[in-house]
Amino acid sequence: MAVGTHREFKDRLYRQFARIGKALSSPHRLEILELLAQGARTVDSLATEIGLSLANTSQHLQALRQAALVDSRKEGLFVSYRLSDPTVFDLCTAIRTVAERQLADLERLVREHFGDRSDAEPVEMDELLKRARSNDVVVLDTRPPSEYAAGHIAGALSVPVGDLQRRLRELPKGKDYVAYCRGPYCVYADRAVEILRSHGRRARRLREGFPDWRAAGLPVETGGSSGARGL
């Protein structure tokens, strides 16, 4: 193989790899990918969630689409977006893991926002799977109903954190509860644990979120039913 030909190949090769890095260089795009890891979303829904205009949100989605990180599908009058492949979430997880291990600024930011989270006693996924199968715990999905319907931990109850106060009567005090949400930096589960504990329930949060659970190949369900079943 000619040296010049191989050099040209390597340049073109890494240029393709760099397309992915360029698409991920925006914090808004990383947040969009996290939201799409919960399930398909419309442009309007994403724009509302991340506080951007429809035009700016569309531009970010087009950049992600050009890098083949998301797909779109027209459903009636709306266009919905979703992750193009499960490995896209794996990539986001890798970015998060490297940042957690290497960036001291990230650790300070999380501590300033959440405070000391050690009191929440996060539950690992394998521990939750074992306890749920033995009917030793009630699992609460604290995300919005649309995300629960798109996919949730098998047997989990849909109790969006905004509805938790008024639905406390449905949750007996004699049970153990584990709340989960979108990921380790989603506030829904932490808030749910705080509310449950302040009303006499034993509660902890899952360390990871639903996409991590699904990526690990653990039992999931789809649909809007909130009835609890065993894993």
Partner residues linked to 178 by β-bridges: 139, 204
Q: Which residues pair with 203 in a beta bridge?
A: 177
Q: Which two tokens stand for residue 72?
A: 């779109």
Residue type, 191: R
CA atoms within 13 A on the CB side of 74: 2
Q: Report the C-alpha gap between 39 and 9 in whole angstroms.
A: 37
Q: How far apart are CA 190 and CA 205, in angstroms?
A: 7
Alpha helices in 25-166 (DSSP H): 27-36, 43-50, 54-66, 86-102, 104-114, 125-133, 145-150
Known active-site residue 181:
yes
Would you mind telling me the total number of residues written for the chain in this entry?
Answer: 231
Q: CA–CA separation, 159 vs 203, rounded Å?
A: 14
Cα radius of gyration rounded to whole Å, the chain: 20
Report CA-CA distances (Å) from 134 to 56, 102, 104, 123, 138. 47, 38, 39, 16, 11
Active-site residue (options: 137, 181, 189, 203): 181
Q: Which amino acid belongs to residue 65?
A: R
Q: Are strands 157-158 and 176-180 parallel, antiparallel or unpaired?
A: unpaired
- Residues that are catalytic: 181
